[in-house]
Structure 1
Amino acid sequence: MKTLNIKISTFTVVCILFLTNLSFGQQGTVTINQDKDIDKLLAIKKEMNESEDTSDRYRIQIYSGNRSEAEKAQSTFKSLNIDLPSKLVYETPNYKIWVGNFRDRLEADRALKKVKTKFPTAFRFKPKKEKE
């Protein structure tokens, strides 16, 4: 009886080791074949996006009021380490802090949700186009 148990145990251990080796034995490499012109196209697209007219984009206003408070609001915003540019703008009679430069409303709304944690009166808007 003991020899039967030893044989079964040995067989079980061998099977487990064999099956474990099979399950971890899958290795391979991935090769990506792409046209060299794709990198050129991506660079051109990036350049076009950077030079695009930004007047049709969305922004977030976090403050409107006097200059000293506007500067405080801007420094508070910068200390939050949210990766968005901020800009001090003067529109008679108030100084305003505008944040971001978003291509679409959804992108602006996502950022607005983060900004509202510290600036609850912040809102999304689309700046008026300047007359040339």
Structure 2
Amino acid sequence: MNILSFKNLLFGTSLCLSCVAFGQEETQKINISQSDMINELSLTKTKLQKSHNIGDRYVIQLFSGPNGDASNKIKDYEALYEYPARIKYEAPNYKVWIGNFRNRLEADRALLVIKETYPSAFIPKPERK
């Protein structure tokens, strides 16, 4: 009886191994093709992110006032923090904006750190584009 079960075990093992080998052979034949439009889309998104033209992003506003004061404020800020900063003109004032945060949670976390140095900083409501 042991010999019979050993033969069955040997047969079952060889059958499983052949199935695995056959399955691996089939997976090597898979061909994935990608459209050229995906690369274009990726480049366009990267360009929009760098130019801050993607809507519904959150920023932190440090300052609003004349251009000279805004320039001084951004220089002081860049010496202390790593978040990207920019000056945006909205008539009649220049505004110093920090970051380009995807969601309110990220902006709130950064605001807690920045408020230690700039207590009047706040998060304005994002514009819809």
Pair 1:74-2:41 in alignment: no
Structure 2 match to 1:57: 57
TM-score (norm 1): 0.57
**What do you get for the CA RMSD once the two structures are aligned?**
2.0
Paired residue secondary structure (2:95): strand
Structure 2 distance, partners of 1:54, 1:116, is 26
The share of aligned pairs that are identical, in percent, is: 42
Structure 1 match to 2:92: 93
Paired residue secondary structure (1:126): coil
Paired residue secondary structure (1:121): coil
Aligned residue pair count: 84
Residue 118 of structure 1: CA displacement? Answer: 1.3
Structure 2 distance, partners of 1:84, 1:122, is 14
Structure 1 match to 2:12: none
* Unpaired segments ≥5 residues, structure 1: 1-43
Q: Cα deviation per residue 1:49-101 (whole Å; 9 max; x = unaligned)?
A: 74566211100000001111101110010000x22110101100000000000
Structure 1 match to 2:4: none
TM-score (norm 2): 0.58
Structure 1 distance, partners of 2:93, 2:126, is 15
